[in-house]
């Protein structure tokens, strides 16, 4: 059951889990995200994944990345509910793009059903609008993170860097346009 709140002059009760929380310097706190703790639980989705899954590489790598640019827009904002932790959103979007999931709605659905996505988000499951808005707001910051992630993957031996060059030569294909089609 979803909760919807109207803007009111009276504050929400202190027992409400989505009430805005402020840090000492006035910035927002984020929804709690601790992937290491959730991996140690007996029935966690991470415990049911194969040991060499790419999600474990990302969960270990994202804390090493420089993601301060993702936190900056939230530092002075005091309105609304606590947002998802930007490090979690970066990890989620990196994993989604690495497995070929590019749509925000598909990513949000995967956060509810697939073990690898559940291992990343835990209980803080973002909806499709949160994923879409985060991706849109932080396009420039993702270029830096992708470069950093590629370097770390190269150092870990997961990818090999090299040059691929073409000279513009066109090669005749052997397939027939009419024979490749099937009429049913």
Residue 150 clears pLDDT 90, i.e. is over it: no
* pLDDT computed for residue 181 by the predictor: 59
Whole-angstrom distance, CA of residue 171 vs CA of residue 145: 37
SS3 category, 144: helix
SS3 category, 174: coil
**Residue 22: what are its φ and ψ, rounded to 5°?**
-110, 145
* pLDDT computed for residue 24 by the predictor: 43
The 10s digit of each residue's pLDDT in 120-147 is: 998 889 999 999 999 999 999 998 998 8
- Note the pTM of the prediction, 2 decimals: 0.71
Residue 170 clears pLDDT 70, i.e. is over it: yes
* pLDDT computed for residue 156 by the predictor: 84
Q: Among 27-31, 114-118, 134-138, where is mean pLDDT lowest?
A: 27-31
Work out the burial of residue 92: count CB atoms within 10 Å of its CB; fewer than 13 is exposed, 13-18 middle, 19 or more buried: buried
Cβ atoms 147, 69 nearer than 8 A: no
SS3 category, 22: strand
Going by pLDDT thresholds of 50, 70 and 90, the confidence category of residue 182 is low
Mean pLDDT: which of 40-49, 59-68, 103-112, 121-130 is highest? 103-112
Domain boundaries, the chain: 51-156
Angstrom distances, CA of residue 56 to CA of 23, 51, 59, 126: 30, 8, 5, 20
Mean pLDDT for all residues in the chain: 79
Going by pLDDT thresholds of 50, 70 and 90, the confidence category of residue 79 is confident
- Tell me the sheet residues that pair with 28: 22
Q: Which residue has the higher pLDDT, 143 or 44?
A: 143
Whole-angstrom distance, CA of residue 181 vs CA of residue 184: 9
* pLDDT computed for residue 25 by the predictor: 44
SS3 category, 116: helix
* pLDDT computed for residue 14 by the predictor: 42
């Amino acid at each position: 059951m979803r909760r919807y709140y109207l803007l009111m002059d009276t504050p929400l009760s202190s027992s409400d889990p989505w009430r805005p929380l402020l840090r000492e310097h006035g910035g927002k706190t984020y929804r709690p995200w601790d992937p290491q703790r959730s991996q140690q639980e007996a029935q966690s989705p991470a415990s049911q994944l194969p040991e060499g899954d790419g999600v474990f590489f990302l969960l270990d790598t994202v804390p090493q990345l420089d993601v301060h640019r993702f936190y900056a827009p939230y530092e002075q904002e005091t309105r609304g509910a606590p947002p998802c932790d930007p490090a979690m959103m970066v990890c989620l979007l990196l994993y989604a793009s690495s497995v070929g999931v590019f749509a925000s709605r598909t990513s949000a659905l995967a956060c509810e059903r697939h073990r690898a996505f559940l291992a990343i988000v835990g209980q803080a499951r973002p909806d499709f609008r949160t994923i879409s808005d985060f991706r849109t707001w932080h396009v420039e910051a993702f270029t830096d993170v992708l470069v950093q992630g590629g370097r770390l993957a190269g150092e870990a031996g997961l990818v090999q860097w090299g040059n691929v060059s073409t000279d513009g030569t066109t090669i005749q294909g052997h397939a027939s346009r009419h024979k490749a089609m099937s009429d049913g």
